[in-house]
A and B are shown apart, each in its own frame.
Chain A
Amino acid sequence: MTHRIWIVLALVLAIALFAISLWQIDPQREAIRAQAANPQEDAPTIAELPDPHAVPQNVPVGDGPDIRIFAASSIAPVLEDIANVYESNHAVDITIITAASSALARQIEHGAPADLFISANRQWGHYLVDKGLVADHEHKALLTNRLALVIPAGAEQPSDVPDLHLTIDELTENDRLKNQILHLSNRGRIAICEPTAVPCGIYARQTLEALGIWDQARILPAANAQATLAWVERGEAAGAFVYASETTGNDKVQLVLLVPDALHDAIIYEISTLKDGPAHNEALAFLAFLDSAPAQRLLIMAGFLPPNGLMEP
């Protein structure tokens, strides 16, 4: 008798798990779609842009080479959308492998097959050039971003005034930022990416060091930008340093402020083409698509900024 109950329970559980795995929800993507800007003349209208989640009707999927893109976690979501659009019109399969830029660089260095590498700083792109895996002329700046300090959606904004505010002196913008971070640090930990190697974390560390509070702030290191966002979305971290792009259309966090660019190195996303990538030519074609208007629109709607006036390396 007892044995049969166990078997039935196990079967029910298995079916439930299987059903859950088939069900996909992504309200955030839907929100981004809904925030589309006015369409331009020669660009497809929003109505005409294919739904990223629909299976392409005309183009046989799985027919053609596989482009493998190793992308920093902060850019991976919008890259998925761009890739889906590209796949619906071209006979290629795009696979996006995402993690922290440093982790990806290490994997590529150890032989992981990659065609394109998008890093959230120039350092990891140059690392692969130094290792001879990327040709000198085959990497360039792609985007820029801002660093943002965020807190969970329902939390109270931290005061920008120190607890013992006795002087009548004007507080500088940096002072305000410093105070807000310290107040958050009292509430709980501040999530940042691993400060030694992950770009987002490096920018955050530079900011905290510039403000002189690197030792005081209680940080929570996370593996990459998406993971950092997850900690603060869940309310486990009192605050987080994430990219501004990660706050776009995100109702689980609220912005405290955008960190002044002067406090950290310029945030430059770099895209590199691997010399020995299996789908080298197809990768270059996709690279060109990234520069096109539809792709750029998606990037801007996701909160990224074009690399205005940035010098070529």
Chain B
Amino acid sequence: MDFWLTSLTPFESEALRLSFKVALWATLASLPFAIGFAWLLARHDFWGKSILNALLHLPLVVPPVVVGYGLLVLFGQNGALGPFLQDVFGITIAFTWRGAAIAAAVIAFPLMLRAIRLSMEAVDPRLEFVARSLGASRLRVLATVTLPLTLPGIVAGLSLAFARSLGEFGATITFVANIPGETRTLPLALYTAINTPGAETEAGRIVVISILLALMALGLSELAARRVTRAVHGI
């Protein structure tokens, strides 16, 4: 019974806090890109569109470890862009929570993109034309008609991306390693516990925490989705 009732150990609370932080930033950072590319793919035709589409969905089909390794090659201390970012902009990505957030963002991006794109495609293009005939510029149409009606898809995309980021493991551990306090999110903390003989209790606690966190995220996103759909469509 003590197992269930004690408060979180520093090991656990640190992992929980980090998971939250990484998932939140990963989701927020992906959002503008997801909306932008969704709009591009949903409303435009151009040469190379299917190639772009395939590239954007790559992190979904490629093993996460591959994604992590690719990020390492690009942004590691010894990578193609890493030293440049560090020297010119003073930004360090390798072995920091920022790197973990980028890894999660890249992995979760295709999920968010799909959800938003589908929702945007469902918006009647004639509504957008009517708005233009009423005098709205393209930008105003995007802001006042397209995006508000896409909102249910955006909420769904945010939820999916957040959930996926919470659970991201392969890319994270390959790119930014398993550093306590910086990149040791809940999945990585669980991995550490599992690989330590005798730490079964710890592992069990982390499993429970992870599940509770996931359920909470799921519940909130369901609530948000319903409110938004009602506001947009009155259903």
Whether the complex brings A and B within 8 Å at their CB atoms is answered yes
Chain A residues near B (Cβ < 8 Å): 2, 100, 102-103, 105-106, 109, 124, 127, 152, 188-189, 194, 196-197, 219-223, 231, 234-238
* Sample of 6 more A-B contacts, CB < 8 Å, known A221-B177, A223-B195, A236-B76: A102-B197, A106-B197, A188-B77, A194-B196, A197-B197, A235-B76
List residues of chain A with CB within 8 A of the CB of B194.
Answer: 106
Q: Interface readout for B179-220 with A: 1 if CB under 8 Å, 0 if not?
A: 110000000000010111100000000000000000000000
Is there a chain A Cβ closer than 8 Å to B109's Cβ? no
Once A and B bind, how many residue pairs between them come within 8 Å at the CB atom?
Answer: 54
B195–A102 touching, CB < 8 Å:
yes
Given A127, A221, A231, A234, which contacts B197 in the complex, CB threshold below 8 Å?
Answer: A127
B78 on interface, CB distance cutoff 8 Å: yes
Q: Are A236 and B179 in contact (CB under 8 A)?
A: no
Q: Tell whether, in the assembled complex, residue B94 and residue A221 are in contact, meaning their CB atoms are under 8 Å apart.
A: no
Asked whether A102 lies within 8 Å of B177 as measured between CB atoms, the reply is no
Contact A235 B78 (CB under 8 A): yes
Distance A127 CA – B76 CA, assembled complex (angstroms): 38
Q: List 5 A-B contacts (CB under 8 A).
A: A2-B50, A100-B195, A102-B195, A189-B95, A194-B178
B78 touches A236 (CB 8 A): yes
Least CB separation from A105: chain B residue:
B197
**How far is A234 from B78 in the complex, measured between Cα atoms in Å?**
7
Q: A222-B177, A231-B177 are in contact. Are A196 and B196 (CB under 8 A)?
A: yes
Interchain nearest-CB distance for B56 vs A (Å): 16
Within the complex, the shortest CB–CB distance from A250 to chain B, in Å, comes to 17
Q: Are B76 and A221 in contact (CB under 8 A)?
A: no
Closest 6 CB pairs of A and B: A235-B78, A106-B197, A197-B196, A103-B195, A236-B76, A236-B77
Contacts of A100 in B (CB 8 A): 195
Cβ of B72 within 8 Å of any chain A Cβ, yes or no, is yes
Query: B179–A221 contact, CB under 8 A?
Result: yes
Q: Which residue of A lies closest to B194 (CB)?
A: A106
Q: Which residues of chain A have C-beta atoms less than 8 A from B195's C-beta?
A: 100, 102-103, 106, 194, 197, 223
Point out the residue from A152, A197, A221 that lies within 8 Å of B178, measured CB to CB. Answer: A221
Smallest CB gap from B11: residue in A: A196
List chain B residues, Cβ under 8 A from A236.
Answer: 72, 76-78, 94-95
Give CA–CA (A237, B76) in the complex, Å: 9
**A221: which B residues are within 8 A, CB to CB?**
177-180
- Bound Cα distance A152, B77 (Å): 12
Give the chain B neighbours of A105 by CB distance below 8 A.
Answer: 197
Q: How far is the CA of A237 from the CA of B197 in the complex (A)?
A: 27
Which chain B residue has the least Cβ–Cβ distance from A100? Answer: B195
Nearest A residue (CB) for B197: A106
Closest to B192 in A: A194
Given the known interface contacts A102-B195, A197-B196, A197-B197, the answer about A220 and B78 at a Cβ–Cβ threshold of 8 Å is no
Q: Cα distance A196–B192 when bound, in Å? A: 9
Instruction: Enumerate B163-180 residues with CB–CB distance to A below 8 Å.
Output: 177-180
B50, B94, B95 pick with most chain A CB within 10 angstroms: B95
Chain A nearest CB, measured from B62 CB (Å):
12
